[in-house]
Amino acid sequence: MKKIINDPETVVRDALRGMRAAHPDLLTVYEDPAVVVRADAPVRGKVVVISGGGAGHEPLHGGFVGRGMLDAACPGAVFTSPTSDQVLDAVTKTDGGAGALLIVKNYTGDVLNFEMAGELAETEVRSVVIDDDVAVKDSLYTAGRRGVGGTVLLEKIVGAAAERGDDLAACEELAKRVISSVRSMGLALSSCTVPHVGSPSFELADDEMEIGIGIHGEPGRQRVPVGPASEMVAALLDPILEDLPFASGDRVLLFTNSMGGTPLIELYLAHGIAEQLLADRGITVERRLVGPYITSLEMQGMSLTLLKVDDEMLELWDAPVHTPALRWGV
Amino acid sequence: MGCTTADVVTALRAAAAVVQEHRDELVRLDQAIGDADHGENMRRGFAAVVSKLDAEEPETPAKALKLVATTLISTVGGAAGPLYGTAFLRASTAVADLAELDGDAVARALRAALDGVVARGKAEVGDKTMVDALTPAVAAAASSTGSAAEALAAAADAAAEGAESTIPLVARKGRASYLGERSAGHLDPGSRSTALLLRALADAAAKA
């Protein structure tokens, strides 16, 4: 294992210290328990939007803390959900008197810990669970679909609504609308190595790719030979389009995401193909996001996320945001 | 002969040592069908339990179990934190005011722990989770009519068998469920840690 770390035990803490050093104007970073809070918190009278999850997906979630997006993020150990103490602490530290909306990715541990925190909180708390990964087929026989790329879009849009003064019920309703309109799927060309494990999470031969991966180095649904980029993009886009389904005339936000190890040159190449495939189907791409925003450590691979947008979602997407990883309009 | 608070604390320390010893095994099991964090999360949680036990002396068995619960909830994360935390919390409530635990109290504590895990995690027997180890353990402890040590020994034997029974199963809960059929042929790490904990508690109780 070759990584720029000192000790697998302190990776998350050491990275948080670096984040604090890099963004003193945007973030207040607490270590015990680990919580990343926007520097001007608490904002009086504003609904707070809080998320969290295992570390290793950076910039998700801490990189999205700041004006117009998250009020706080709770990083767990690498690929491990945060504890309920962390979530509760985030709620307490940011409480502006208008309640808290918790954005929870659908993994058993995340759901349980956020649920416990919600039960213990003294302020009014609502939770929404995002489950946009179409790779998980039958939710009757699984823990349900995973929360993946759609989380980034959800945090931006709901964060903007909270910033403009929407109340808790409105933020929750909007979040549910986004969740029901967004779908994602990912693929891996290589595995990743969790620092405290020291060896790759799964083995992939040089000529193989794993389709339908999540964001935790867990294997996907299917292992197939590596083909050209056009085949890879279609392998992700087709199941997404069929699932919602998206149809000719729909307006969408297209998010092309790197799993961490895939460079922008390949990501733009893939994004171009996805845009063409959508144009061929009569689907209008209204907004785009391209880059590494929800990653799986150093994994090579990508995911596509498609959100069917309406005018309100577009307005909120365009609203000013000032966080370490996303910044526009300010 | 019942288990005193000191016996319970000794058993909990023994459980922590076993978790530490089997950390890599649990990581490997979880790497195969999950996300490779179970061993490290459990090690971190039980190391924190030992630190807490070093710092304060619980007055009753219930308080010792509650200390484990709150520590695991605040340090483990993942699904295991809330699930084991809930298990120890319910077990603590079940033996509330007792100064010593007999076989009957152990059986009640295990039953309460299982009910708590099922209420929070909503898994059933056959879903390839810790419930597959804990359910037969509860039944075995309930039909044991002897001491606390005998109840725990029966529970540990049944849990070990229950854990083994997860190998052919297709996971229906937790991260392994995303693998579908590919999860079959692997021992569930949560059922393994449950069996390990019960074995450690039983062995310690036998020496008490």
| Domain that residue B73 falls in | 5-207
Burial of A219 per CB tally in 10 Å (0-12, 13-18, 19+): buried
**Residue where one domain finishes, among candidates A118, A150, A180:** A180
Do residue A201 and residue B35 have CB atoms under 8 angstroms apart?
yes
CA distance B73 to B153: 26
∠ CA A126-A131-A137, rounded to 5°: 150
- Chain A: closest CA distance from residue B104 (Å): 30
- Residue A152 CB: number of other CB atoms within 10 A? 27
Is the pLDDT reported for residue A136 higher than 90?
A: no
Residue with token string 């604390």:
B9
Same domain, A121 and A248: no
Mutate to test the interface with B, among A197, A221, A222 (most CBs of B within 10 A): A197
Alpha carbon distance A243, A103 (integer Å): 23
Identify the burial level of B102 via C-beta atoms within 10 angstroms of its C-beta, where 0-12 means exposed, 13-18 middle and 19 or more buried.
middle
**Residue A170 located in a structural domain:** yes
Surface-to-core class of residue A242, CB atoms within 10 Å of its CB (0-12 exposed, 13-18 middle, 19+ buried): exposed
Question: How far is it, in rounded angstroms, from Cα A272 to Cα A233?
Answer: 10
In angstroms, the CA B37 to CA B78 distance is: 8
Tell me the torsion sign for CA atoms B107, B113, B119, B125: negative
Q: Which residues of B touch A (CB under 8 A)?
A: 27, 31, 34-37, 40-41, 44, 73-83, 120-121, 170-175, 177-180, 182
Is A306 among the domain residues? yes
Give the separation between CA A76 and CA A102, rounded to whole angstroms.
15
Average pLDDT for chain A: 95
User: What pTM was computed for the model?
Assistant: 0.91
- Chain B interface disruption, residue of A79, A85, A184, A221, most B CBs within 10 A: A79
Residue partners of A34: CB distance under 8 A and separation at least 6: A12, A13, A16, A74, A75, A82, A86
Is A57 designated active site?
yes
| Residue A1 lies inside a defined structural domain of this protein | no
Per-residue confidence (pLDDT) for residue A183, from 0 to 100:
98
Mean pLDDT within A163-175:
98
Q: What is the pLDDT of residue A142?
A: 76
Using one digit for the tens of pLDDT, what is the confidence trace for A29-56? 999 999 999 999 999 999 999 999 999 9
- The CATH number assigned to the domain holding A69 equals 3.40.50.10440
Output the 3-class SS for B27-63: HHHHHHHCCCCHHHHHHHHHHHHHHHHHHCCCCCHHH
Q: Could A143 and B121 be called an inter-chain contact, meaning their C-beta atoms sit closer than 8 Å? A: no
Count of domains observed in chain B: 1
The radius of gyration computed from the CA coordinates of chain A, to the nearest angstrom, equals: 19
Q: Go through chain B and tell me how many residues it has.
A: 208
Neighboring chain B residues of A219 at a CB cutoff of 8 Å:
179, 182
Please state the domain count of chain A.
2
Among B77, B121, B182, the residue with its CB nearest the CB of A113 is B77
End-to-end CA gap in chain B: 9
- Quick check: is A135 in a domain? yes
Give B147 to chain A, closest Cα distance, Å.
35
Question: Could you say which of A180, A202, A221 is where a domain stops?
Answer: A180
Residue A32 lies in a domain: yes
Of the listed ranges A48-57, A116-125, B8-17, the one predicted with least confidence: A116-125
Same domain, A170 and A278: no
Are A272 and A202 contained in the same domain?
Answer: yes
What mean pLDDT do residues B17-28 have?
97
Chain A positions contacting chain B at CB under 8 Å are 33, 54, 76-85, 107-109, 112-113, 115-116, 135-137, 141-143, 146, 194, 196-197, 199, 201, 214, 216-219, 221
Residues A110 and A86 in one domain: yes
Q: Are residues A293 and A167 in the same domain?
A: no
Contact A85 B41 (CB under 8 A): no
* Bridge partners for A103 per DSSP: A51, A128
Segment B126-172, tens digit of pLDDT: 999 999 999 999 999 999 999 999 999 999 999 999 999 999 999 99
Interface test with B, best of A142, A148, A199, A222 (most B CBs within 10 A): A142
Do A119 and A189 belong to one domain? Answer: no
At A214 the pLDDT is 87
Contact in structure between A209 and A192 (CB atoms under 8 Å): no
Domain extent, residue A231, equals 182-316
Contact B179 A218 (CB under 8 A): yes
A127, A152, A180 - which closes a domain: A180
Same domain, A12 and A120: yes
A109: nearest CA in chain B? B79
Is A216 known to be catalytic?
yes
Structure tokens at A226: 């590596």
Same domain for A215 and A132: no
Whether the CB-CB separation of B55 and B78 falls below 8 Å is answered with no
- Residue in this structure with the two tokens 């031969």, named with its chain if needed: A205
Peptide bond into A33 cis (omega under 30): yes
Q: Domain holding B166: CATH number?
A: 1.25.40.340
For residue B1, the model assigns a pLDDT of 62
Going by pLDDT thresholds of 50, 70 and 90, the confidence category of residue B2 is: confident
Q: Residue A330: inside a domain, yes or no? A: no
Size of interface A-B (CB pairs under 8 A): 108
Per-residue pLDDT reduced to its tens digit, A238-295: 999 999 999 999 999 999 999 999 999 999 999 999 999 999 999 999 999 999 999 9
Q: What is the CATH number of the domain that holds A235?
A: 3.30.1180.20
Q: Do A200 and A169 fall within a single domain?
A: no
Instruction: Identify whether residues A75 and A167 lie together within a single domain.
Output: yes
A20 and A152 in a single domain? The answer is: yes
* Same-domain pairing of A29 and A135: yes
- B157, two tokens: 């034997």
In this prediction the ipTM stands at 0.83
